[in-house]
């Protein structure tokens, strides 16, 4: 993703994707990187983790640390505010899709 304009659009899509999965169940960062890769997004940990921290700081995600195989793994889940944002984003995305399709 070299075009800076496309990068901005895709980061918005990625945030919606993150909120969606966090609304379904808690996830950890490396799982999300693979999930996004399955959808054609090549995102590095250096891009994903600051994005997760920003969504957490904005009150859209909550983080829980669990010890798995002796290591701390951070799980993220969508908050009530994040769910509200997700529903609004879905509504706007559907409206836009219907208009441009």
Are residues 29 and 51 in contact, defined by beta-carbon separation less than 8 angstroms? Answer: no
pLDDT at 7: 83
Q: Which residues are paired to 77 by β-bridges?
A: 62
Cβ neighbors of 37 (< 8 A, separation 6 or more) are 43
Tokens coding 84: 């509200």
Q: Rg of the Cα trace of the chain?
A: 14
pTM, 2 dp:
0.89
CATH number of the domain located at residue range(s) 4-100 in this protein: 1.10.10.10
In angstroms, rounded to a whole number, what is the distance separating the alpha carbons of residues 45 and 69?
21
In angstroms, rounded to a whole number, what is the distance separating the alpha carbons of residues 73 and 67?
6
Q: If you average pLDDT over residues 19-38, what whole number do you get?
A: 97
Please state whether beta strands 61-68 and 71-78 pair in parallel, antiparallel, or not at all (unpaired).
antiparallel
With cut-offs at 50, 70 and 90, classify the pLDDT of residue 8.
confident
* All structural domains of the chain with their residue ranges: 4-100
Q: If you average pLDDT over residues 89-100, what whole number do you get?
A: 93
Q: What is the pLDDT of residues 65-81, one digit of tens each?
A: 999 899 999 999 999 99
């Amino acid at each position: 993703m070299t075009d800076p304009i496309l990068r901005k659009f895709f980061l918005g899509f990625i945030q919606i994707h993150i909120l969606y999965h966090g609304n379904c169940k808690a996830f950890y960062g490396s799982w999300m990187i693979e999930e996004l890769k399955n959808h054609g997004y090549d995102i590095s940990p250096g891009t994903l983790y600051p994005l997760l921290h920003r969504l957490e700081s904005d009150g859209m995600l909550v983080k829980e640390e669990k010890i798995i195989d002796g290591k701390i793994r951070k799980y993220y889940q969508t908050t009530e505010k994040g769910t509200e944002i997700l529903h609004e984003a879905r509504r706007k995305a559907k409206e836009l899709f219907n208009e441009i399709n």
